[in-house]
Amino acid sequence: MIRNWQYTHQYQQDKRQILKIVDRVLSSGQLILGEEVRRFERAFSAYCGAAHGVGVNSGTDALFLSLKTLGVGPGDEVITVSNTAVPTVAAICAADATPVFVDIEEDTFLMDVRQVEQAITPRTKGIVPVHLFGQAVDMDPLMKLARAHHLFVLEDCAQAAGAVYRGSKVGSIGDAAAFSFYPTKVLGAFGDGGMIVTSDNSLAARLRRLRFYGMETAYYAEEEGFNSRLDELQAALLHDKLSRLDDSVRSRITVAAAYMLGLTGVGDIVLPRILAERTHQFYLFTIQTQDRDALKEHLGAKGIEARINYPVPIHLMRGYAHLGYRTGSLPVTEKLAGRILSLPIYPEMREEHIAEVIITIRSYFAGR
Protein backbone atom coordinates (compact mmCIF):
# COMPACT_ATOMS: atom_id res chain seq x y z
CA MET A 1 0.00 0.00 0.00
CA ILE A 2 1.26 3.44 -0.89
CA ARG A 3 -0.62 5.80 1.33
CA ASN A 4 1.67 8.23 3.03
CA TRP A 5 3.33 10.67 0.80
CA GLN A 6 5.67 11.92 3.38
CA TYR A 7 5.68 12.67 7.03
CA THR A 8 5.39 9.34 8.77
CA HIS A 9 8.34 8.06 6.72
CA GLN A 10 10.31 11.12 7.63
CA TYR A 11 9.51 10.94 11.31
CA GLN A 12 10.51 7.29 11.51
CA GLN A 13 13.75 8.03 9.70
CA ASP A 14 14.80 11.09 11.74
CA LYS A 15 13.02 10.43 15.04
CA ARG A 16 16.02 10.72 17.38
CA GLN A 17 17.24 13.98 15.87
CA ILE A 18 13.72 15.46 15.89
CA LEU A 19 13.08 14.57 19.53
CA LYS A 20 16.47 16.01 20.51
CA ILE A 21 15.51 19.34 18.94
CA VAL A 22 12.07 19.31 20.57
CA ASP A 23 13.72 18.74 23.95
CA ARG A 24 16.25 21.53 23.38
CA VAL A 25 13.63 24.12 22.41
CA LEU A 26 11.07 23.20 25.06
CA SER A 27 13.79 23.32 27.72
CA SER A 28 14.98 26.75 26.57
CA GLY A 29 12.10 28.73 28.03
CA GLN A 30 11.78 30.74 24.81
CA LEU A 31 8.97 29.65 22.49
CA ILE A 32 8.12 32.77 20.43
CA LEU A 33 10.40 35.05 18.37
CA GLY A 34 13.69 34.01 19.92
CA GLU A 35 17.09 32.90 18.67
CA GLU A 36 15.80 29.81 16.80
CA VAL A 37 13.59 31.95 14.56
CA ARG A 38 16.37 34.50 13.93
CA ARG A 39 18.85 31.72 13.12
CA PHE A 40 16.48 30.03 10.70
CA GLU A 41 15.53 33.35 9.08
CA ARG A 42 19.21 34.05 8.43
CA ALA A 43 19.89 30.54 7.17
CA PHE A 44 16.87 30.32 4.89
CA SER A 45 17.23 33.79 3.37
CA ALA A 46 20.94 33.07 2.75
CA TYR A 47 19.97 29.76 1.13
CA CYS A 48 17.62 31.67 -1.19
CA GLY A 49 20.20 34.35 -1.93
CA ALA A 50 18.24 37.19 -0.32
CA ALA A 51 19.20 39.57 2.49
CA HIS A 52 16.26 39.08 4.87
CA GLY A 53 13.85 36.42 6.02
CA VAL A 54 10.74 37.15 8.08
CA GLY A 55 9.14 34.07 9.63
CA VAL A 56 5.34 34.05 9.74
CA ASN A 57 2.71 31.47 10.52
CA SER A 58 1.84 30.29 7.01
CA GLY A 59 2.47 30.73 3.31
CA THR A 60 -0.90 32.47 3.05
CA ASP A 61 0.18 35.05 5.61
CA ALA A 62 3.53 35.42 3.87
CA LEU A 63 1.61 36.43 0.73
CA PHE A 64 -0.96 38.58 2.53
CA LEU A 65 1.53 40.52 4.67
CA SER A 66 3.81 41.03 1.65
CA LEU A 67 0.91 42.43 -0.38
CA LYS A 68 0.02 44.80 2.49
CA THR A 69 3.62 45.93 2.78
CA LEU A 70 3.92 46.41 -0.98
CA GLY A 71 1.07 48.89 -0.66
CA VAL A 72 -1.85 46.92 -2.08
CA GLY A 73 -5.29 48.13 -1.11
CA PRO A 74 -8.90 48.59 -2.25
CA GLY A 75 -9.28 49.12 -5.99
CA ASP A 76 -5.87 47.68 -6.86
CA GLU A 77 -5.46 44.80 -9.27
CA VAL A 78 -2.91 42.03 -8.89
CA ILE A 79 -2.16 39.73 -11.84
CA THR A 80 -1.80 36.01 -11.12
CA VAL A 81 -3.03 32.61 -12.34
CA SER A 82 -6.19 30.63 -11.63
CA ASN A 83 -4.26 27.34 -11.78
CA THR A 84 -2.77 27.56 -8.29
CA ALA A 85 -3.57 26.70 -4.69
CA VAL A 86 -6.53 28.73 -3.40
CA PRO A 87 -4.35 30.68 -0.87
CA THR A 88 -2.55 32.59 -3.67
CA VAL A 89 -5.86 34.18 -4.59
CA ALA A 90 -7.27 34.30 -1.05
CA ALA A 91 -4.30 36.41 0.05
CA ILE A 92 -4.87 38.93 -2.75
CA CYS A 93 -8.54 39.26 -1.75
CA ALA A 94 -7.64 39.49 1.95
CA ALA A 95 -5.47 42.48 1.05
CA ASP A 96 -8.62 44.07 -0.45
CA ALA A 97 -7.26 43.84 -3.99
CA THR A 98 -8.78 42.21 -7.08
CA PRO A 99 -7.04 39.20 -8.59
CA VAL A 100 -6.77 39.33 -12.39
CA PHE A 101 -6.06 35.98 -14.02
CA VAL A 102 -3.92 35.16 -17.01
CA ASP A 103 -3.84 31.71 -18.59
CA ILE A 104 -1.04 29.14 -18.31
CA GLU A 105 1.30 27.32 -20.68
CA GLU A 106 -0.06 23.93 -21.63
CA ASP A 107 3.18 21.99 -21.23
CA THR A 108 4.46 23.47 -17.96
CA PHE A 109 1.26 24.46 -16.09
CA LEU A 110 2.96 27.82 -15.40
CA MET A 111 1.86 31.43 -15.94
CA ASP A 112 1.99 32.33 -19.64
CA VAL A 113 4.14 35.43 -19.28
CA ARG A 114 3.29 36.56 -22.82
CA GLN A 115 -0.29 37.21 -21.68
CA VAL A 116 0.59 39.48 -18.78
CA GLU A 117 1.03 42.73 -20.70
CA GLN A 118 -2.56 42.62 -22.04
CA ALA A 119 -3.84 42.17 -18.48
CA ILE A 120 -2.21 45.39 -17.21
CA THR A 121 -4.63 48.26 -16.54
CA PRO A 122 -4.16 51.65 -14.82
CA ARG A 123 -5.18 49.90 -11.56
CA THR A 124 -2.60 47.13 -11.76
CA LYS A 125 -0.24 47.27 -8.80
CA GLY A 126 1.74 44.06 -9.06
CA ILE A 127 2.18 40.52 -10.29
CA VAL A 128 2.20 37.27 -8.32
CA PRO A 129 3.88 34.51 -10.39
CA VAL A 130 3.45 31.03 -8.89
CA HIS A 131 6.36 28.60 -9.26
CA LEU A 132 3.91 25.73 -9.47
CA PHE A 133 4.81 22.10 -8.73
CA GLY A 134 8.45 23.08 -8.12
CA GLN A 135 9.47 24.79 -11.38
CA ALA A 136 10.11 28.51 -11.88
CA VAL A 137 8.01 30.80 -14.05
CA ASP A 138 9.92 32.57 -16.87
CA MET A 139 11.11 35.40 -14.62
CA ASP A 140 13.40 37.46 -16.91
CA PRO A 141 10.70 38.72 -19.30
CA LEU A 142 8.28 39.07 -16.38
CA MET A 143 10.68 41.26 -14.37
CA LYS A 144 11.41 43.36 -17.44
CA LEU A 145 7.71 43.94 -18.04
CA ALA A 146 7.09 44.71 -14.35
CA ARG A 147 9.92 47.26 -14.23
CA ALA A 148 8.67 48.95 -17.41
CA HIS A 149 5.20 49.36 -15.87
CA HIS A 150 6.39 50.12 -12.28
CA LEU A 151 4.72 47.00 -10.88
CA PHE A 152 5.96 44.91 -7.98
CA VAL A 153 6.63 41.20 -8.36
CA LEU A 154 5.83 38.94 -5.41
CA GLU A 155 6.97 35.37 -6.06
CA ASP A 156 4.74 32.60 -4.70
CA CYS A 157 7.47 30.09 -3.85
CA ALA A 158 5.28 27.86 -1.67
CA GLN A 159 5.91 24.82 -3.88
CA ALA A 160 9.41 25.56 -5.07
CA ALA A 161 11.90 26.17 -2.23
CA GLY A 162 15.39 25.91 -3.71
CA ALA A 163 14.34 25.94 -7.38
CA VAL A 164 16.83 27.66 -9.67
CA TYR A 165 16.07 29.94 -12.62
CA ARG A 166 19.05 30.97 -14.78
CA GLY A 167 21.47 30.67 -11.87
CA SER A 168 19.24 32.44 -9.31
CA LYS A 169 17.19 30.74 -6.63
CA VAL A 170 13.49 31.53 -6.62
CA GLY A 171 12.79 34.09 -3.93
CA SER A 172 15.79 36.20 -4.92
CA ILE A 173 14.36 37.46 -8.21
CA GLY A 174 11.21 39.47 -7.40
CA ASP A 175 10.75 42.29 -4.89
CA ALA A 176 9.69 39.80 -2.25
CA ALA A 177 8.80 36.12 -2.09
CA ALA A 178 6.45 33.99 -0.02
CA PHE A 179 7.32 30.48 1.18
CA SER A 180 5.14 27.90 2.93
CA PHE A 181 6.41 25.28 5.33
CA TYR A 182 3.13 23.37 5.37
CA PRO A 183 4.06 19.74 6.16
CA THR A 184 3.83 18.37 2.61
CA LYS A 185 5.86 21.15 0.99
CA VAL A 186 9.39 20.59 -0.28
CA LEU A 187 10.66 22.05 2.99
CA GLY A 188 7.90 21.09 5.43
CA ALA A 189 7.49 21.81 9.13
CA PHE A 190 5.61 19.66 11.63
CA GLY A 191 2.72 22.10 11.59
CA ASP A 192 2.10 25.44 9.92
CA GLY A 193 4.79 27.93 9.03
CA GLY A 194 5.86 30.39 6.36
CA MET A 195 8.46 33.00 5.49
CA ILE A 196 8.86 36.14 3.43
CA VAL A 197 12.24 36.56 1.80
CA THR A 198 13.38 39.92 0.43
CA SER A 199 16.50 42.00 -0.09
CA ASP A 200 14.62 45.25 0.56
CA ASN A 201 15.61 46.56 4.03
CA SER A 202 12.56 48.71 4.65
CA LEU A 203 10.15 46.04 3.41
CA ALA A 204 11.71 43.54 5.84
CA ALA A 205 11.54 45.98 8.78
CA ARG A 206 7.89 46.74 8.11
CA LEU A 207 7.06 43.02 7.81
CA ARG A 208 8.68 42.32 11.18
CA ARG A 209 6.43 44.96 12.68
CA LEU A 210 3.25 43.79 10.94
CA ARG A 211 3.65 40.18 12.10
CA PHE A 212 3.89 41.35 15.71
CA TYR A 213 0.83 43.56 16.36
CA GLY A 214 2.53 46.48 14.59
CA MET A 215 5.02 46.78 17.44
CA GLU A 216 8.76 47.45 17.46
CA THR A 217 9.00 47.73 21.21
CA ALA A 218 6.75 45.99 23.70
CA TYR A 219 3.18 47.22 24.18
CA TYR A 220 3.44 50.10 21.70
CA ALA A 221 2.00 49.80 18.20
CA GLU A 222 3.60 51.94 15.49
CA GLU A 223 0.79 50.94 13.15
CA GLU A 224 -2.12 48.52 12.90
CA GLY A 225 -0.64 45.04 12.79
CA PHE A 226 -1.42 41.34 13.01
CA ASN A 227 -0.27 38.27 14.82
CA SER A 228 1.56 35.99 12.43
CA ARG A 229 4.64 34.33 13.83
CA LEU A 230 6.74 31.30 13.10
CA ASP A 231 7.34 29.64 16.46
CA GLU A 232 10.69 28.59 17.89
CA LEU A 233 9.96 24.87 17.70
CA GLN A 234 9.04 24.87 14.01
CA ALA A 235 11.98 27.17 13.24
CA ALA A 236 14.43 24.82 14.95
CA LEU A 237 13.01 21.74 13.20
CA LEU A 238 13.02 23.54 9.85
CA HIS A 239 16.59 24.73 10.32
CA ASP A 240 17.65 21.13 10.83
CA LYS A 241 15.74 20.02 7.73
CA LEU A 242 17.15 22.86 5.62
CA SER A 243 20.56 21.20 5.79
CA ARG A 244 19.01 18.16 4.07
CA LEU A 245 16.79 20.04 1.61
CA ASP A 246 19.05 19.67 -1.42
CA ASP A 247 19.49 15.95 -0.70
CA SER A 248 15.77 15.43 -0.37
CA VAL A 249 15.17 17.27 -3.66
CA ARG A 250 17.78 15.05 -5.33
CA SER A 251 15.77 12.07 -4.11
CA ARG A 252 12.59 13.59 -5.56
CA ILE A 253 14.39 14.09 -8.88
CA THR A 254 15.44 10.42 -8.83
CA VAL A 255 11.81 9.36 -8.35
CA ALA A 256 10.77 11.71 -11.18
CA ALA A 257 13.45 10.30 -13.49
CA ALA A 258 12.20 6.76 -12.82
CA TYR A 259 8.64 7.87 -13.65
CA MET A 260 9.85 9.59 -16.82
CA LEU A 261 11.61 6.43 -17.97
CA GLY A 262 8.84 4.06 -16.97
CA LEU A 263 5.97 6.11 -18.39
CA THR A 264 7.42 7.29 -21.70
CA GLY A 265 5.13 6.20 -24.52
CA VAL A 266 2.55 4.66 -22.19
CA GLY A 267 -0.99 5.29 -23.46
CA ASP A 268 -1.58 8.95 -24.24
CA ILE A 269 0.37 10.14 -21.20
CA VAL A 270 2.02 13.56 -21.46
CA LEU A 271 4.92 13.80 -19.01
CA PRO A 272 5.87 17.00 -17.15
CA ARG A 273 8.23 19.21 -19.10
CA ILE A 274 11.44 20.49 -17.54
CA LEU A 275 12.51 23.76 -19.09
CA ALA A 276 16.05 24.78 -20.00
CA GLU A 277 18.11 26.76 -17.45
CA ARG A 278 15.80 25.69 -14.64
CA THR A 279 15.69 23.03 -11.97
CA HIS A 280 12.47 21.26 -11.06
CA GLN A 281 12.04 20.46 -7.36
CA PHE A 282 9.24 17.97 -8.13
CA TYR A 283 6.99 19.02 -5.30
CA LEU A 284 4.46 17.26 -7.53
CA PHE A 285 4.89 14.95 -10.51
CA THR A 286 1.89 15.72 -12.69
CA ILE A 287 1.02 13.82 -15.83
CA GLN A 288 -1.74 14.51 -18.36
CA THR A 289 -4.09 11.95 -19.88
CA GLN A 290 -7.50 11.88 -21.50
CA ASP A 291 -8.38 8.99 -19.14
CA ARG A 292 -7.55 10.82 -15.95
CA ASP A 293 -10.57 9.81 -13.84
CA ALA A 294 -10.49 6.12 -14.81
CA LEU A 295 -6.73 5.94 -14.27
CA LYS A 296 -7.06 7.56 -10.86
CA GLU A 297 -9.68 5.00 -9.91
CA HIS A 298 -7.54 2.13 -11.22
CA LEU A 299 -4.61 3.34 -9.08
CA GLY A 300 -6.87 3.84 -6.06
CA ALA A 301 -8.12 0.24 -6.32
CA LYS A 302 -4.48 -0.86 -5.90
CA GLY A 303 -4.00 1.38 -2.86
CA ILE A 304 -2.11 4.05 -4.77
CA GLU A 305 -3.30 7.55 -4.03
CA ALA A 306 -3.00 9.85 -7.02
CA ARG A 307 -4.31 13.40 -6.65
CA ILE A 308 -5.69 16.13 -8.85
CA ASN A 309 -3.90 19.44 -8.42
CA TYR A 310 -6.23 21.17 -9.00
CA PRO A 311 -9.62 19.75 -10.01
CA VAL A 312 -11.50 23.07 -10.26
CA PRO A 313 -9.72 26.25 -11.38
CA ILE A 314 -10.22 29.02 -8.84
CA HIS A 315 -12.06 31.32 -11.25
CA LEU A 316 -14.81 28.68 -11.52
CA MET A 317 -15.21 28.14 -7.76
CA ARG A 318 -18.32 29.43 -6.00
CA GLY A 319 -16.18 31.36 -3.52
CA TYR A 320 -14.70 33.42 -6.34
CA ALA A 321 -17.74 33.74 -8.61
CA HIS A 322 -17.88 37.45 -7.71
CA LEU A 323 -14.73 38.01 -9.76
CA GLY A 324 -16.91 37.60 -12.85
CA TYR A 325 -15.10 34.87 -14.76
CA ARG A 326 -16.96 32.02 -16.43
CA THR A 327 -16.32 28.76 -18.26
CA GLY A 328 -14.22 29.62 -21.30
CA SER A 329 -12.42 32.57 -19.65
CA LEU A 330 -9.15 30.66 -19.31
CA PRO A 331 -9.22 27.84 -21.86
CA VAL A 332 -5.84 26.21 -21.14
CA THR A 333 -6.36 26.24 -17.37
CA GLU A 334 -9.83 24.72 -17.81
CA LYS A 335 -8.67 22.08 -20.29
CA LEU A 336 -5.82 20.91 -18.08
CA ALA A 337 -8.05 20.67 -14.99
CA GLY A 338 -9.73 17.71 -16.67
CA ARG A 339 -6.49 15.99 -17.70
CA ILE A 340 -3.99 16.32 -14.86
CA LEU A 341 -3.03 13.67 -12.32
CA SER A 342 -0.31 13.94 -9.67
CA LEU A 343 1.47 10.67 -8.86
CA PRO A 344 2.86 9.91 -5.40
CA ILE A 345 6.28 11.50 -4.95
CA TYR A 346 8.32 12.02 -1.79
CA PRO A 347 12.03 11.77 -1.03
CA GLU A 348 11.83 8.52 0.95
CA MET A 349 9.84 6.73 -1.75
CA ARG A 350 11.28 3.27 -2.29
CA GLU A 351 12.14 1.76 -5.66
CA GLU A 352 9.58 -1.02 -5.41
CA HIS A 353 6.84 1.52 -4.74
CA ILE A 354 7.84 3.59 -7.75
CA ALA A 355 7.83 0.39 -9.83
CA GLU A 356 4.41 -0.53 -8.47
CA VAL A 357 2.96 2.82 -9.59
CA ILE A 358 4.52 2.45 -13.05
CA ILE A 359 3.33 -1.15 -13.47
CA THR A 360 -0.17 -0.25 -12.34
CA ILE A 361 -0.39 2.61 -14.84
CA ARG A 362 0.99 0.40 -17.64
CA SER A 363 -1.53 -2.32 -16.76
CA TYR A 364 -4.35 0.24 -17.02
CA PHE A 365 -3.41 1.22 -20.56
CA ALA A 366 -2.60 -2.39 -21.57
CA GLY A 367 -6.05 -3.54 -20.45
CA ARG A 368 -7.96 -0.89 -22.35
Ligand X SMILES: *Cc1c(COP(=O)(O)O)cnc(C)c1O
The 3-class secondary structure across the chain, one letter per residue, is CECCCCHHHHHHHHHHHHHHHHHHHHHHCCCECCHHHHHHHHHHHHHHCCCEEEEECCHHHHHHHHHHHCCCCCCCEEEEECCCCHHHHHHHHHCCCEEEEECECCCCCCECHHHHHHHCCCCEEEECCECHHHECCCHHHHHHHHHHCCCEEEEECCCCCCCEECCEECCCCCCEEEEECCCCCCCCCCCCCEEEEECCHHHHHHHHHHCECCEEECCEECCCCCECCCEHHHHHHHHHHHCCHHHHHHHHHHHHHHHHHHHCCCCCCECCCCCCCECECCCCEEEECCCHHHHHHHHHHCCECCECCCCCCHHHCHHHHHHCCCCCCCHHHHHHHCCEEEECCCCCCCHHHHHHHHHHHHHHHHCC
Q: Which residue is nearest to ligand X (CB)?
A: 59
Site string for ligand X, 100-139 (x = CB under 6 A): ------------------------------x---------
CB of 229 to ligand X, least distance (A): 13
Work out whether 313 is an interface residue with ligand X (CB under 6 A).
Answer: no
| From candidates 194, 313, 344, 347, binder to ligand X by CB under 6 A | 194
| From candidates 56, 81, 85, 337, binder to ligand X by CB under 6 A | 85
Work out whether 80 is an interface residue with ligand X (CB under 6 A).
Answer: no
CB of 283 to ligand X, least distance (A): 8
For CA atoms 272, 114, 136, 308, give the dihedral sign: negative
Work out whether 195 is an interface residue with ligand X (CB under 6 A).
Answer: no
Nearer to ligand X, 87 or 174 (CB): 87
CB of 238 to ligand X, least distance (A): 12
Nearest-5° angle of CA 124, CA 125, CA 127? 90
The size of the interface with ligand X (CB under 6 A), counted in residues, is 15
Nearer to ligand X, 53 or 87 (CB): 87
| From candidates 101, 133, 152, 182, binder to ligand X by CB under 6 A | 182
Nearer to ligand X, 21 or 62 (CB): 62
Site string for ligand X, 138-167 (x = CB under 6 A): ------------------x-xx--------
CB of 131 to ligand X, least distance (A): 8
Nearer to ligand X, 193 or 361 (CB): 193
Candidates 21-29, 79-87, 101-109, 351-359; binding stretch for ligand X (CB under 6 A)? 79-87
Nearer to ligand X, 84 or 288 (CB): 84
Work out whether 84 is an interface residue with ligand X (CB under 6 A).
Answer: yes
Residues that bind ligand X (CB under 6 A): 58-60, 84-85, 87-88, 130, 156, 158-159, 180, 182, 192, 194
